[in-house]
Structure 1
Amino acid sequence: MATAQETKMEQMAMKRDHYSMIINGERVDSTSGETFTTYNPATGEPLATVAKATTEDAERAVEAARNAFDYGKWKKFPVGKRSRTLNKIAGIMRSRFNELVELEVLNSGKTIAAAQGQVMQAIEDFEFYAGAIVGHKGEVNPVPGQFHNYTEKEPVGVCAQIIPWNYPMMMAAWKIAPAIAAGCSVIVKPASLTPLTALVMAEICTEAGVPEGVVNVLPGSGSEIGNFLVEHKGIDKVAFTGSTPIGKDIMGKASQTLKRVTLELGGKSPNIVFNDADLDAAVDGSLFGIFYNTGQSCEARSRMYIHEDIYDEFMEKFVAKTKRLALGNPMDKGTHIGSIISRDQVESIDGYVQSAKEDGATILAGGQEAKVEGFENGHWYEPTVIADVTHDMKAVKEEIFGPVVVAMKFSDEKEVLKLANDSEYGLGSAIWTKDHGKATRVANGIKAGIVMVNCPFSAFPGTPFGGYKQSGFGRELSTETLDLYTETKSILSYYGNRPLNPLGVE
């Protein structure tokens, strides 16, 4: 016999013409009746209508999440039961893997290869936190005298989680999995351009047995709904992934109610290739570092520093391979470069490229909007390599968020470390060298939260992800993320036989 919860959230096809928001374990439409249309960026065609949340809807979601946390049973579940539920979420996602991948490709325009890797990591995130939460507990601390001190980890409360459009499902998992593992309730605000897989993930959470009100999803305006949640007194924590300017605004607004804040913001990550590197490996890894996910990654290694001794040979190989990257149908496994998320983003990317040309830089590959046969109404940009740049150029200093890389020469370790750190950002970085000592010195000297040595990959479940400087603070994807969703309570007790009279009053 079906439970009431299963009746509320019967499984529906992932691909459908309309998506409702998720509040208190139910699919509900906007109180205003408003919807917005989400598009397939590869074709420019409408994909589905989505319920557009109002502040009244957001208030309902806060009330549902608040009630679920304050009076519900989720945070009181034995940790083993929460763990099993997270594993069940992962199991349902595995069973519907191909559907999730297809929906992610359609809504984001990314290649199927990229979507497969990201959906798989989303699944593994739930599995990781299912295990990590079991070992996340307090400790006993030595105290002088006849005192006993121990600590407990308690969930922080109701969390607003604002996720970006570039990794819709993976970022939703990065936020939801550790929060609910810790016993929190969440309200997810997905990007309006890519809300579909976050909505489906919430449905899967309910299907797996997460109680009503624990996972809520509000698609809608970031400036309206996002700000409403950030300023709401019923929200205890805000986790945001997105641009640095918006992150600063969120931090300021959250400070008015002293909310806990985690910010994963912009980047302009350096990619350093020394003259003793395995050249072919460095070329291939650097290619992935910038062009994976069509360059729409916060940790994209968009500044290449190549040792002067190998610069010409490296660039010849790198540019040749860049020109062989295939743009086309994102569902084709042979496609390397997917579409750009929107027309506005295409124009933003091109603005940076044109500014570099005006500043005297040389375009070695790409440099313009791409036309893809069969996808003429989609949003595309050619993989672009820019040389002859200086550090004061806009294209070198600012985050482009597209398939564009700038390349510069360097002569020694000290010089390149200074150049690498000459940025307001400090998210990712990569080093290519066969010299272990050099790799260690440079890794220690780079002011960035992530350092990749002879490796193009930046994140796996269990590895901390986050930045220095204006790339934000807090770490996701690791066991320490659980600390961001919990409070530590210290309990001190006296076990002596003689009553305490510290003031000595008789």
Structure 2
Amino acid sequence: MQNAKAIVPKPLNEPILSYAPGSPEKAALKKRIEELKSQEIEVPLIIGGQEIKTGNMGEMRVPHNHQHILGYYHQAGEKEIKLAIEASMDAWSSWSKTPWEARAAIFKKMASILQRHEEQTLNAATMLSQSKNVYQTEIDSACEFIDFLNFNCWYAQELYEQQPTYSPDGMWNRLEHRSLEGFVFAVTPFNFTSIAGNLPMSPALMGNVVLWKPASSAVYSAHFIMNLFRKAGVPDGVINFIPGSGSTVGPIVMKDENLAGVHFTGSTKVFQSMWSYIGKNIKDYKTYPRIVGETGGKDFCIAHESANVDALVTAMTRGAFEYQGQKCSALSRAYIPTTIWDEVKEKYIAQVKTIKIGDPDDFTNFMNAVIDKAAFDTITSYINDAKTDDNAEIITGGNYDDSIGYFIEPTTILTSDPKYRTMCEEIFGPVLTIYLYDPNDWKNTLKLVDETSP
């Protein structure tokens, strides 16, 4: 019995550690990286709290040293997926009735575990398996993930507090939030460890049960997140961990009548196909699935001729090349007025030349490797096309090397065609395309920006 009104502590954004020379967090992280590099692990499925091994294995390689294998993971097939659905539905009956304060306490505990700075497993795993530099890792798998855990609990409390303020005599109007009657399918990306944790966590916080399929290129860090869920006290069956091929897992999950929600981050094409499938088969579900997705884009910068050139140059460099451009928020196309281009070009090229590329274990490297061979081949195909196209000129980078890791130089394409291919298509890599416009044609240029890419 609880005779108290529980109040979630008001969250604050998690401070970003510096990892400066001699700092304890740097020493702890360096040590944990070496420990993880020295071992190969085997990652099982986690279904209903049980470790399940299928024997159908996938590799977990280091992108910046692709001959280094971190371990192998078992991939879910039809039998395991159906087992996971059964386990989630079994857990639903109790988890959906668990008081929200008890659910929030579990995820608050998880945040407190991550706040122990000497515990650097998730940061080390992210740097190794996703090739992120130390700063990009710290703001992702540490700070943002902790913020998701803490702020989600706060926002859940705010949601539950929204109650009717008036009741007629003899009545008490109350609003109850019910969990979805089925399971949520969480499909998570490789590029943000925090999102990989948040997509299964947030529906679970609200009393839902989850099937979680992480990106195949980020199973390694997802495995350690799943360990944290279990360590914090998430009951068996509430979050079921089913790595595997999207073409195998997706169709089986999507056609199950108990599908009650999709929580997705990834490509626009994949999400549209999922939405389309649900719409066409809506009569087959027990309820109407809630569909939530965040997908890619073709982010732009348009500079006015009054822009501060130094600020513009830094925004272009960091926006385009942080984490090798592998963000849906990465700057991918820029519109620069002809009147300031000479100054912008000189300062921009000089700044890009200062970028260091290499192993994230060297904390002075700003850029690291792209995620895998498929990404490397796709990105470099755009660069190769630009090298032979009369409408394109490469003004920085253009070189690449996958002999050791999947390294691509920060590449900038200057085009005379505002509808050139790299102005329109999402590349998801370290490639920025620039188009020069006449500042006297400002309004039409704004229209051009809006019409060039969805």
TM-score normalized with structure 1 length: 0.75
Q: Which residue matches 1:401?
A: 428
Structure 1 vs Structure 2 CA RMSD:
2.2
Q: Which residue matches 1:152?
A: 176
Of 207, 225, 242, the residue aligned with 2:266 is 242
Of 161, 164, 189, the residue aligned with 1:164 is 189
User: In terms of mean alpha carbon deviation, does 139-148 or 99-108 score higher?
Assistant: 139-148
Does residue 421 (structure 1) correspond to residue 450 (structure 2)? The answer is: yes
1:58-109: CA deviations, max 9, x gaps? Answer: 111111111111x22x332322222221110111223364211111111112
User: In terms of mean alpha carbon deviation, does 126-135 or 141-150 score higher?
Assistant: 141-150
- C-alpha spacing 1:407/1:175, structure 2 compared with 1 (3 Å): same
Q: Which residue matches 1:347?
A: 377
Q: Which residue matches 1:361?
A: 392
Q: Which residue matches 2:364?
A: 334
1:108-133: CA deviations, max 9, x gaps? Answer: 12222211211121122111112111
Of Structure 1 and Structure 2, which has the larger fraction of its residues in helix? 2
SS of residue matched to 2:344: helix
Give structure 2 stretches of 5+ with no counterpart: 1-34, 283-287
Q: Which residue matches 1:316?
A: 346
1:475-490 residue pairs with structure 2 within 5 A?
none
Does residue 38 (structure 1) correspond to residue 82 (structure 2)? The answer is: no
Shift of 1:149: 5.8
Give structure 1 stretches of 5+ with no counterpart: 1-12, 426-506
Give me the whole-angstrom Cα distance separating, in 2, the residues matched to 1:415 and 1:331: 46
Give me the whole-angstrom Cα distance separating, in 2, the residues matched to 1:301 and 1:105: 22
Q: Which amino acid aligns with 1:172?
A: A
Give me the whole-angstrom Cα distance separating, in 2, the residues matched to 1:84 and 1:423: 47
How many pairs does the alignment contain?
Answer: 404
Does structure 2 retain, via aligned residues, the 8 Å contact 1:359–1:393?
A: no
Give me the whole-angstrom Cα distance separating, in 1, the residues matched to 2:453 and 2:310: 31
Does residue 280 (structure 1) correspond to residue 303 (structure 2)? The answer is: no
Q: Which amino acid aligns with 1:408?
A: Y
Relative contact order higher in (CA < 8 Å, ≥ 6 apart): 1
SS of residue matched to 2:65: coil
SS of residue matched to 2:446: helix
Does residue 112 (structure 1) correspond to residue 141 (structure 2)? The answer is: no
- C-alpha spacing 1:280/1:51, structure 2 compared with 1 (3 Å): same
Does residue 140 (structure 1) correspond to residue 164 (structure 2)? The answer is: yes
Give me the whole-angstrom Cα distance separating, in 1, the residues matched to 2:305 and 2:189: 37
Q: Which residue matches 1:446?
A: none
Of 74, 78, 98, the residue aligned with 1:77 is 98
SS of residue matched to 1:160: strand
Q: Which amino acid aligns with 2:101?
A: G
Q: Which residue matches 2:222?
A: 198
Does residue 126 (structure 1) correspond to residue 149 (structure 2)? The answer is: yes
Does structure 2 retain, via aligned residues, the 8 Å contact 1:97–1:119?
A: no
Give me the whole-angstrom Cα distance separating, in 1, the residues matched to 2:291 and 2:239: 19
Q: Which residue matches 2:124?
A: 102
Give me the whole-angstrom Cα distance separating, in 1, the residues matched to 2:270 and 2:416: 28
Q: Which amino acid aligns with 1:53?
A: A
Give me the whole-angstrom Cα distance separating, in 1, the residues matched to 2:391 and 2:122: 44
1:454-493 residue pairs with structure 2 within 5 A?
none
Shift of 1:356: 2.8
Shift of 1:360: 2.1
SS of residue matched to 1:237: strand
Q: Which residue matches 2:26?
A: none
User: In terms of mean alpha carbon deviation, does 138-147 or 108-117 score higher?
Assistant: 138-147
Give me the whole-angstrom Cα distance separating, in 1, the residues matched to 2:148 and 2:169: 44
Does structure 2 retain, via aligned residues, the 8 Å contact 1:103–1:197?
A: yes
Give me the whole-angstrom Cα distance separating, in 2, the residues matched to 1:406 and 1:232: 43
Give me the whole-angstrom Cα distance separating, in 2, the residues matched to 1:321 and 1:152: 55
Shift of 1:206: 1.5
- Deviating beyond 6 angstroms after TM superposition, the runs of 4 or more aligned structure 1 residues are 141-148
Does structure 1 retain, via aligned residues, the 8 Å contact 2:185–2:211?
A: yes
Does structure 2 retain, via aligned residues, the 8 Å contact 1:353–1:395?
A: no
Does structure 1 retain, via aligned residues, the 8 Å contact 2:48–2:240?
A: yes
Shift of 1:16: 4.5
Q: Which residue matches 2:90?
A: 67
SS of residue matched to 1:400: coil
Give me the whole-angstrom Cα distance separating, in 1, the residues matched to 2:169 and 2:447: 52
Q: Which residue matches 1:430?
A: none
Q: Which residue matches 2:24?
A: none
User: In terms of mean alpha carbon deviation, does 356-365 or 98-107 score higher?
Assistant: 356-365
Q: Which residue matches 2:299?
A: 269
Q: Which amino acid aligns with 1:127?
A: N
Shift of 1:394: 1.2
Q: Which residue matches 1:448?
A: none
Of 297, 300, 303, the residue aligned with 2:330 is 300
1:127-183: CA deviations, max 9, x gaps? Answer: 11121111112432879999986533222241101112222x222123123212211
1:252-291: CA deviations, max 9, x gaps? Answer: 1222134221121121011122222222122112211111
TM-score normalized with structure 2 length: 0.84
SS of residue matched to 2:177: strand
How much identity, in percent, do the aligned residues show? Answer: 28
Shift of 1:184: 1.0
SS of residue matched to 1:132: helix
